[in-house]
Amino acid sequence: MSHDPNTDDTPLMSHFAELRTRFIRILIAVLVVFLALVGFSRQLYDFISNPLVALLPNEASLIATDVASSFLAPIRLSFFVALFITVPFILAQIWGFVSPALYRHEKRTAIPLLLSSIVLFYTGVAFAYFVVLVPALKFFVMFAPDNVLPMTDIDSYLNFVVKLFLVFGVMFEIPVLTLVLVLVRLVSVQSLASKRRYIIVACFGIAAIVTPPDGASMLMLAIPMCLLFELGLVLARLLVKDNPQQLPDSDKSA
């Protein structure tokens, strides 16, 4: 019986073609949002830098140590904001690629998790801006030596803020991560609960590493991490007993 090797490659090539299409859509979406925001790049940078400017002495200001920094820093911020805004669209494209391979019960579980991850990410970013940023900046300004005038480079400040937002956005995904680990049977609720003290210590250790070197910022990340872990455990206890381990192929959607 003859065998055509091209038939084995057809499904794989179609997957690659769809992946390329979705990747192009993501690039176009980010580019469109970026172009819409680039005209407001200065206003965006003012919005991000106002918390620091309000804390600086009257004779101090933000500075640009590179010739192009005053132009490039706001443009970079516009790109980062475009990425933040398009996160739901990016996740929707990823979901559209992987969802055909999921069973119906897996889709019923995955869709709420996907929506929750988006909400938690934006909540983490908002928490970082409205709650954490000002105390962290106060720490740096307050402890500057008397003979040192704090004048931060705009590129350095942008890197600091983006890192802070990203850290809090990712860390606020802990409930989703906890729930996913339990649902896929990598760990059990009981094993996580029994290791609670070690996880709490790990949360404080991670917070100490990724936040600015002040106790307030560390606590503002570590305490929510612990609470979010507990929330993930509660959700896992409610959902895991109703989650079937395996369903027949007839349950797989077309």
Dist CA 30 CA 22 (whole Å): 12
Range scoring the smallest mean pLDDT among 15-24, 61-70, 141-150, 240-249: 240-249
Question: What is the torsion angle, in degrees rounded to the nearest 10, for the CA atoms of residue 82, residue 88, residue 90 and residue 96?
Answer: -160
pTM: 0.78
Flag whether 7 is in a domain.
no
Dist CA 152 CA 45 (whole Å): 14
Task: List, in sequence order, every residue forming a beta bridge with 63; answer none if it has no partner.
Answer: 153
Residue 60 pLDDT class (50, 70, 90 cuts):
confident
> Residue 246 above 50 pLDDT?
no
What integer pLDDT is reported at residue 251 of this predicted model? 44
231 class by beta-carbon count within 10 Å (0-12 exposed, 13-18 middle, 19+ buried): middle
Give tens-digit pLDDT for 174-233: 988 888 888 777 888 888 888 889 999 998 998 888 877 667 778 888 898 999 999 888
Tokens coding 126: 């908002």
Instruction: Please give the average per-residue pLDDT across 62-83, as a whole number.
Output: 89
Tokens coding 89: 């669209």
Flag whether 3 is in a domain.
no
What Å distances lie between residue 174 and 14, 85, 105, 114, 117, CA to CA?
34, 21, 22, 13, 9
63 φ, ψ to 5°? -130, 160
Give tens-digit pLDDT for 9-50: 577 788 788 889 999 999 999 999 999 999 999 999 999 988
> Residue 243 above 60 pLDDT?
no
Flag whether 110 is in a domain.
yes
Flag whether 66 is in a domain.
yes
Range scoring the smallest mean pLDDT among 25-29, 30-34, 235-239, 242-246: 242-246
178 touches 232 (CB < 8 A): yes
Alpha helices, H only, 54-144: 69-85, 87-98, 104-127, 133-142
Flag whether 11 is in a domain.
no
What integer pLDDT is reported at residue 212 of this predicted model? 73
Flag whether 74 is in a domain.
yes
- The secondary structure element, H or E, covering residue 211 is none
Residue 85 pLDDT class (50, 70, 90 cuts):
very high
**Residue carrying the six token digits 């962290």:** 136
- Name the percent of the chain lying above pLDDT 70: 88
Average pLDDT, the chain: 82
Dist CA 63 CA 154 (whole Å): 6
What integer pLDDT is reported at residue 4 of this predicted model? 52
The number of folded domains in the chain is: 1
Flag whether 6 is in a domain.
no
113 touches 176 (CB < 8 A): yes
Q: What's the domain range around 114?
A: 17-242
Flag whether 122 is in a domain.
yes
153 φ, ψ to 5°? -70, 140
DSSP state of 129: I
